[in-house]
Amino acid sequence: MLLSKMAAGQMLEDSWVAQMTGIYDHDKWRGYDSAYVRDYSHLWTVRLISTYKNNQFRIINVDKDGNLHRLKYSPVAPWSVGVGMNHNWLGVNASLTLPSGQDGLKDTGSQIDIIGRFYGRKIGGELRFQYFNGHYAEIRPVNPSGLGSVIPLEDSPKLNSLIISGNAMYVFNQKTYSYMGAITQTQWQRQSAGSWMVGGLLNYHSLWAHKDNSAMEKEELNLDNSQYVTLGGTAGGGYTFVFDKHYYIGGTFMAGIGANYIFLNTYSDLQDNQNFFRPSLVSVARIGIGYNSNHFFAGIQGILEGNYILMEGYDPTYIQGYLRLAVGTRLNWSSKSKVLHEMGLD
């Protein structure tokens, strides 16, 4: 029975999924050159964090009279503070939104904004789910002279939006380069190094008129609903410069081409409801700046993802990301819990 369990456990650790994620492999970083990378994922990492979120969508819209307006919304409460922890494969952050710095663009009835990051042995990336109910958009006229009044936020129709997005990257140089050394604090990049990368992204974005809008407001906005589905491939690289052993600046940049399926449904007779494909330019950038040592770390990490759809007359652009300040320490604490042991968190 014991030999059977050991064989099953070894098969699990040797599986492709286990090698990619490193969840069950306690020695998952043995492939690194210790002179370049030191791993601390086995320790309990705790930190204080302050985060600035960014979420922005822009598109040129045609009102009921045929006039062009640039519609821009960013319904994210930007600042939050909280705490976070990492241990083995698990990482959690919890934060509270600060009321300061919000304006009409963030004045939503309700919202959900969840960001998940997954960083394995060879593959890393981010997932994000966002839902905003009843937010406003900035509406500016578009004309050759550049003249025209901006519609006040409180007078503009309300919108709802749903965004589900994810991206992933594969790192080729796992011998001397750790992208987590600059993006998270579970590793320490001790000497400068870099790597080529390939990846991809998948986004779903839906924007529709709020149910409380009057018929006149809906006609003025001339937007019933729109949906965008994006599938893209990216390539690029990452590099981390290390100064005086402890100070670093680095990150990754990847860019590529995306294919977009677009559905537009308007109120105006000037336009038919449309379903079509369009190409786009996509990009994912990450940055990390800070200080690292055996027990203490402090730094700034950020990510910015963009999708620039090549759609003449509309120019839809979607940008999302965040910038985070983190200060923390690592604790060599062992748990005797059988539950944590079974989960790979002992």
pLDDT in tens, 125-139: 889 898 888 887 777
pTM exceeds 0.85: no
Amino acid of residue 161: S
pLDDT at 306 over 70: yes
Q: What is the pLDDT of residue 2?
A: 47
| DSSP annotation of 184 | S
Name the CA dihedral angle for 120, 122, 125, 127, rounded to a multiple of 10 degrees: -50
Mean pLDDT of 27-38: 74
With cut-offs at 50, 70 and 90, classify the pLDDT of residue 104: very low
pLDDT, one tens digit per residue, over 43-83 is: 888 999 998 888 888 887 776 667 777 888 877 767 888 99
The tokens describing 210, both together, are 């709020």
Instruction: For residues 301 and 288, give the distance between their C-alpha atoms in angstroms, rounded to a whole number.
Output: 4
Over the stretch 154-200, which tens digit does the pLDDT of each residue have?
667 788 889 999 999 999 998 899 988 888 878 899 999 999 999 99
Which pLDDT score, from 0 to 100, does residue 172 have? 93
State the Cα–Cα distance between residues 329 and 52, nearest whole angstrom: 22
Return the ∠ at Cα 136 (arms to 132 and 140), rounded to 5°. 135
The confidence score (pLDDT) of residue 26 equals: 47
pLDDT at 271: 52
